[in-house]
A and B are shown apart, each in its own frame.
Chain A
Amino acid sequence: MEQRVWSSCEQSLDTDKPLSLQALASMRSLIVNPHTSNSTISSILKTLTRSVQQTADSLTRHHTLKLFTDLASYRTHLSPLIFHSLHSNSLVSTDSSLLAAESLAALSSISKCNPTLPIELDDRLFVSLCFGASVSARLWLLRNAEKFGIRLNVLFTVFLGFTKDPYPYVRKEALDGLVGLCKFGVFEDRSVIEGCYYRGVELLKDAEDCVRCAAVRVVKEWGQMLIASSQEEDKRDWSNTVFIQLCSMVRDMCVGVRIEIFNALGNIQMVSEDILLQTLSKKVLSIMKKKRSHSLHTTENFELLASSAAGAFIHGLEDEFCEVQKSACCSLRKLITLSSEFADQALSLLMDMLNANSMVIRLEALETLHHMAISECLNVQEIHMHMFLGSLIDNNDLIRSAARKIFKLVKLPSLDLFRLSVDGLLESLEIYPQDEAGVFSVLFYMGQNHGNFTACIIKEVSQEIEPVSNGDLGLDSARVAAFLVLSISAPLSCDQNGQSIPPRLFSYAVTLLGRITSALNDIVDQNTLLAYLSRCSRSYISSGMEVEGEEFSLPVADVDVATTTVINDSNPVAMPLMQIGNENSEIHSMISCESGNVGTSIIECQLEEHGQIRKSVNLILAQVKDLWLLVQSRCISEALKILRACKEELAIFTPALPESVGALAFTSQYLHVIKLLVKIWGHIVWKVQSCEIGELEILFGKLERRLREMRCRFIGFSKEEESLILELTLLACILRLSEVEICCYLATLKKLSTTISHLEFLNKEGSIELSNFVMEVKKTLHEIATPIGCVSCSPFVFKKLINHYSAKQFSLSRVTHLYAALSVHGNDFENPLPFISGLPVAIPLEITLHNVSRDARLWVRMAMSEELVQFFFLDLKILGGCDEVTKFTHATPFYRTPKAGSFTLRVCVVMECLFEDAHSVKSFVGPKRSLVYLCPEKEVYLYMI
């Protein structure tokens, strides 16, 4: 087939005649076909080369050149050959500029595919080609001039010269070429720049739209260059001149020109204020009339120029075309920072634009307002409020949210405006309940920005917020909620007037924690907020609340309802001391921290989560510290409620990292301990409840176990933390000793002294200071110890000691939690393990140990009943547990199988407390010291076969 086509093609070739279209078409089909053999291709190439040299017919030549580029693109290996043959050929000559341009076009398309082949064009040849008679060739050459590596000054001369061409498109290309030259930096010769600029100015009056468009770009770019190359005082004059010159074109009938003009206006960085003001007034300002034009570099009458600048932005902003309005809005945004007076006047216009017929423009106007608010030049006046508030209740949610963005930043000059704004926001909330989060957030920001006004407003509406007669708060009403948000924001404004917000409002706000958090999630996370709210609503005696962490990343978006309700229970009204501390500003700074970037990778997430958990935990610990104040002021039940709330709060977290696990487990343990301490304190110190016999003992038992666990199951405490735990142990002992009907007095006393000596040891190591409480206990202990053996010490002495105790804040660094998991595969109530009565049974325990060291003495405790307990020692040295997580299956034998059809074993992993004395447990086989449970008891079901 290929041969046939080619031979028929060859036949038609006549060396004298130009190639026929038919032949050219066949050749093209051969070129395009990838299967055409190389020999044919090379003969085609030969034919074409011959043809292009000989033929005089422009059409054939045009097609031939096209075939060359096709050939080069389909057979890339031939492209250098073709390129060089075309290049070396006399095609690119001054004989026919059209032919030369076509050849160059072919060359440049080849060179585009193969960048190793640059076109080299002599400056002289380029110029003479441009001067050829063919207009289309001239156009092409000007448009592509930059490709040929022509010297800059030659290019400049050619471009500038052709701005005089009678053909508008040549003028346009020449102007565009001049614009392109600007990217090579500032020209040295000032007269060259001026010449070019004024040529642009002249062509602003061109009859053709496209030329005017290009001329605007020239005036913009070369004007900038002119400004840049001017001396200091001259700079301003030139800047003004260029600005006014551009302004004079805003009434052009061509949309493209107007868009270009406004784009250009925004680029000017220095404009006199009076000129800027003139652009906002269609009437020529008197100040402009007085001014003389001597400082401006233009031929035109100054007043005429001023009048052409008059209302430039008004015209732009009320243009029929959205694109022009947008462009005007954008450049206004850039210029607004130049003068505050200008900003004020532009504000009215922008506010009125909120009524523009196109949503895009309304958004653009809002965006500009937002920009002004950021640059702090948004001085809202009464007259603006109607439109401004109108955008808050706009039907379109984009508009509303854009408007809210501005309200967050706006500084209102008077209470009236503030009241209007708040009313506007409330109205918006009423119409669009879905906007609640947004509106709350705005209210919060506004409250922060306007402390005084907020206090006034809250005073006015406090009746509305208060619970009505039946005791229900109207919290369902978004309105009340909104006021609460407003009120809680005020103290954050570092404003002393913030203190006039009644503290109970904060406690009301706690009930809305979820709603408020989700609204403020960009500034504060739930825990911080909760801490803040409870702080403001509760008593403040000491100023010890230190909340760690400055950055609030990854705020908790979903809100645990339980938390909210539980905290709701704590009636803060009952709290005795209501006072707001002085560290509001501290919290303020903390809360107003912007949220960081949300981490992307999982690890980052986890790390952030950990950081966050740590923060929350610390907050809780801080609360616990504060809680002692309540305990000391007899509010035991309130304290317990807060503890419960803290526990709930803690339950939100599902930790992913081992660090978090430790922290959370410890906190939970700590809360338990504190709860027990609080209860016992209540009984012993305040005698709040009639205590059932034995109850106290049980509590003590629990407390001691918990304390023991705290010391055993966590490792990695700092010395300080350790001492705090020891203090708690001390307190437990003291409490026990201060009880009249005390048992195990001696044991406790002994424990007391060991603990003290432990503390002293820590003290000697130099890392901690002994607290007042410890010193007192030590002193007392010393006094008791002198008359040894004499039980003369009354509980009263110890009771006095209790009051020396003051809570300190744990700041958890890094604790590791020791725990285990236990399971028996496939065993449940319906699938019991078989056993033969009297014979030992092996229980396949799957044990997972976390963070348990090899030195730990672990036991499996198997209890059939309270009496029938069997221990089995787990030798980790043999089992090989040394990693953070150790998992193994162990067939643990249970020896004393009963004579019963079935029975249940309660199995768990326990650990010996190494710090306790060995003789405390009198068991013959099994652990010598007291034990802590590493996991919950697991029931194993067995049945007899």
Chain B
Amino acid sequence: MAIECLVLGAGQEVGKSCVVVSINGKRIMFDCGMHMGYDDHRRYPDFSLISTSGDFDSALDCVIITHFHLDHVGALPYFTEVCGYNGPVYMTYPTKALAPLMLEDYRKVMVDRRGEEEQFTADHISACIKKVIAVDLKQTVQVDKDLQIRAYYAGHVLGAAMFYAKVGDSAMVYTGDYNMTPDRHLGAAQIDRLQLDLLITESTYATTIRDSKYAREREFLKVVHKCVAAGGKVLIPTFALGRAQELCILLDDYWERMNLKVPIYFSAGLTIQANMYYKMLIGWTSQKVKETYTTHNAFDFKNVCNFDRSLIDAPGPCVLFATPGMISGGFSLEVFKHWAPSEMNLVTLPGYCVAGTIGHKLMSGKPTKINLDKDTQIDVRCQIHQLSFSPHTDAKGIMDLVKFLSPKHVILVHGEKPKMVSLKERIQSELGIQCYVPANCDTVCIPSTVFVKAHASEMFFQSCLSPNFRFLNESSEDTSDSILERTNGKSRLQVTDERVAEGILVMEKSKKARVVHQEELLLMLGEKQHEVQVAYCCPVHVDNLDEARRDHISADDVLGLSNKCSWLQQLFTELTTDFPGRNIQNLGEHLQVESFHVSLCWKDDCPYRIIDSPRKKLAAVFFCCTWSVADGKLAWQIISTMEKCRLTVQNLNQNTD
């Protein structure tokens, strides 16, 4: 079985996140986003790839939405209401609450302002949201008999979640967007150490490594404080949800601590409404906000009041949060027109601005004049500060998560291709995990884990229950390797507990798998135990053998016999000195060390004898060695000693005399 991963969106790009995963026969769509950069068919994922017939209900088992950003949820009403998907849709409670707000806002902008043909109506949105099944964090939802899903906290925005899905024995996690460092108002992503086959993660900042958030906060507060202290006005264009609350908590807290009396304004509308949701959904915020909300709800901003248009030209310093974020139009543009010409004022810009917006123009070099249209030109003398509060994790965060989860495979989505490739290289080289960066409409297949059920014998079961650990102390062997061993970070003292290894998987005639204890196996099969023995006939040099042979050719046998015992004895002495820790036994006819058995060999055609040169043969006597496989290492050590050592013909002189 394999896990098939079809990337419909956010493959090597940012926007319209949508991945369809087939896992052990179940098909899940993760996210259903839209691309904000396109107006044509590229705006939505190509749903036809899921099912050519258009019968999405049977093609998909469920849709899972990670959070309320439009590039993750934007296509959902279209998919459910226009394309006709009627199956279950899962998202967290806050996402269910906030997604319709975002969708409706977007629809209005599209239809009312730009006059585009609407892709879905307000009714579509509400009908779509009705199909949504809300889930809580760490709540295991049984979608059907085989499919389990579970949401984990992801940070990023209120209600953002990573989703774990498990079918049978295959499991995967789809992260959506997430943040590995905590915010003021949101916590860091939090997940258990799971056994995963696949991790699909975002990679927006695949190569960026951010420094401490404290430094960024300090910078921001410093410029804002400096500006208002000098009597200037600060314009903070921002999206209504997310960063606005983050910055506002930051400012409100700072104002409180520094006793600043300069007013902070929120432009009315979406932000006010959004704040209300934040106040209610305290359970999804950061630890600090959760801990303190009983005494003070962090979203009850003490120093914040509503903005009135008449205040735009009011004298005195102030701070204003205005939508939209990139000064692409609307209220923030209106305020910008008024405030930009004064060098006392300050405009803060979000980290990323779409090309074509004023924000983008301001960020790319410092223009002195901006042409809004043919007739309008804005003098820009105000200070510009670039915010770097991103709710996305950086490269280190991605690496940390991947390392923590240690899945078998990783797929990167939601990023720019060159950066993703570089991150992929890192994951593969540093973590040794297979990684993929599929483009849109690509399919990645990875093998999945399949477990086979097997019965266990009573004896095996019992042996599993009882501890059976052993210590391996390698110190006595291999002294030459010990330095290497140590620097390799392995102890010479190892513990093993091989309760399971002692089991043997057998397939019975009925084709059922069964695990039995190794001692049961022979009984079961009615066979005897075999042991593999290794043999080698080892030549040992005898110093004056040649001489002896020359002088007593006829007496070859006599010589042999007369020396037989003493050679073995000599070898015994040699070995005892070379292997002081070993129990070497001299049993008369042969020597025994563990399973290693050595005796003199007089057969000229010994099958275990390898003779490379006849000269060597003349100068050597042969010892036949046998040992069982387990003692191989020891055996070869002994043999090498034997090959090196030299014996003598002791009785030679006496005989000649």
Contacts and interface: CB of A to CB of B under 8 A. Distances in A.
B181 A194 contact: no
Interface stretch (B4-12, B409-417, B468-476, B645-653): B468-476
Given A163-B495, A387-B218, A131 B209 contact: no
Given A164-B495, A251-B403, A297-B487, A314 B218 contact: no
A348 B493 CA distance: 44
Nearest to B225: A386
A760 interface: no
B286 interface: yes
Interface centre among B254, B287, B403, B466 (most CB of A within 10 A): B287
Interface string A417-440: 000000000000001000000000
B214 interface: yes
Nearest to B469: A161
Interface stretch (B36-44, B122-130, B186-194, B533-541): B186-194
B489 A207 contact: no
A133 B492 contact: no
Interface in A313-327: 314-315, 317-322
Interface string B483-497: 000111111111111
B470 to A, nearest CB: 8
Given A199-B495, A314-B211, A317-B214, A357 B184 contact: yes
Contacts of B399: 307
B462 interface: yes
Contact of B258 (A131, A133, A282, A394): A394
B467 A161 contact: yes
B55 interface: no
B430 interface: yes
Interface in B443-480: 462, 464-467, 469, 471, 473, 475
B259 A304 contact: no
A198 B490 CA distance: 7
A502 to B, nearest CB: 33
A811 B143 CA distance: 95
Contacts of A301: 430
A358 B184 CA distance: 10
Interface string B191-204: 11101000000000
Contacts of B488: 299
A130 interface: yes
A201 B488 CA distance: 13
B396 A282 contact: yes
B212 interface: yes
B221 interface: yes
B496 A164 contact: yes
Contact of A165 (B288, B467, B493, B494): B467
For chain A, which range describes its interface: under 10, 10 to 19, 20 to 34, or 35 or more residues?
A: 35 or more
B217 A352 contact: yes
Contact of B286 (A241, A320, A349, A353): A320
A318 B214 contact: yes
Interface in B236-264: 249, 253-254, 256-259
A356 interface: yes
A698 interface: no
B215 interface: yes
Contacts of A356: 214
Contact of B489 (A138, A199, A281, A299): A299
B88 to A, nearest CB: 28
B182 A195 contact: no
Contact of A358 (B288, B462, B499): B288
Interface string B571-592: 0000000000000000000000
A353 B214 contact: yes
B210 interface: yes
A252 B404 contact: yes
B396 A310 contact: yes
A352 B497 contact: no
A311 interface: yes
Interface in B201-235: 209-215, 217-218, 221-222, 225
B493 A320 contact: no
Nearest to B468: A131
A194 B493 contact: yes
Nearest to A157: B471
A390 B258 contact: yes
Interface string B275-302: 0000000000011100100000000000
B400 interface: yes
Nearest to A160: B495
Nearest to B494: A195
A319 B182 contact: yes
Contact of B487 (A160, A294, A353): A294
A718 interface: no
Interface string B111-133: 00000000000000000000000
Interface in B394-426: 394, 396, 399-400, 403-404
Interface string A5-34: 000000000000000000000000000000
Contacts of B257: 390, 394-396, 399
Contacts of B494: 195
A214 to B, nearest CB: 15
B466 A131 contact: yes
Interface in A150-181: 157, 160-166
A855 to B, nearest CB: 73
A304 B487 contact: no
Contact of B214 (A195, A251, A298, A352): A352
A387 B258 CA distance: 11
Contact of A352 (B218, B253, B464): B218
B489 A198 contact: yes
Given A161-B495, A195-B494, A358-B288, A386 B214 contact: no
A201 B396 CA distance: 22
Nearest to B492: A191
A332 to B, nearest CB: 13
Given A131-B467, A165-B467, A308-B403, A195 B493 contact: yes
A164 B396 CA distance: 32
A348 B469 contact: no
Contacts of B253: 357
Interface string A279-313: 00111000000000010111111011001101100
A696 B286 CA distance: 87
Given A163-B495, A191-B493, A297-B487, A251 B400 contact: yes
Given A198-B491, A355-B217, A358-B288, A317 B212 contact: yes
A531 B191 CA distance: 68
B288 A357 contact: yes
A826 to B, nearest CB: 64
B188 A161 contact: no
Contacts of B486: 194, 297
A921 interface: no
Nearest to A249: B404
Interface centre among A304, A351, A394 (most CB of B within 10 A): A304
Interface centre among A283, A320, A390, A394 (most CB of B within 10 A): A320
Interface centre among B195, B256, B257, B399 (most CB of A within 10 A): B257
Interface string B605-628: 000000000000000000000000
Given A131-B467, A166-B464, A304-B431, 5 more contacts: A198-B489, A252-B404, A322-B288, A351-B218, A387-B218
Interface of A: 130-133, 138, 157, 160-166, 191-192, 194-199, 201, 207, 241, 251-253, 281-283, 294, 296-301, 303-304, 307-308, 310-311, 314-315, 317-322, 348-349, 351-353, 355-358, 386-387, 390, 393-396, 399, 431
12 contacts: A157-B471, A161-B469, A164-B467, A165-B467, A199-B495, A207-B195, A308-B403, A314-B212, A348-B215, A351-B218, A356-B214, A399-B257
Interface of B: 180-182, 184, 187-188, 190-193, 195, 209-215, 217-218, 221-222, 225, 249, 253-254, 256-259, 286-288, 291, 394, 396, 399-400, 403-404, 430-431, 462, 464-467, 469, 471, 473, 475, 486-497, 499
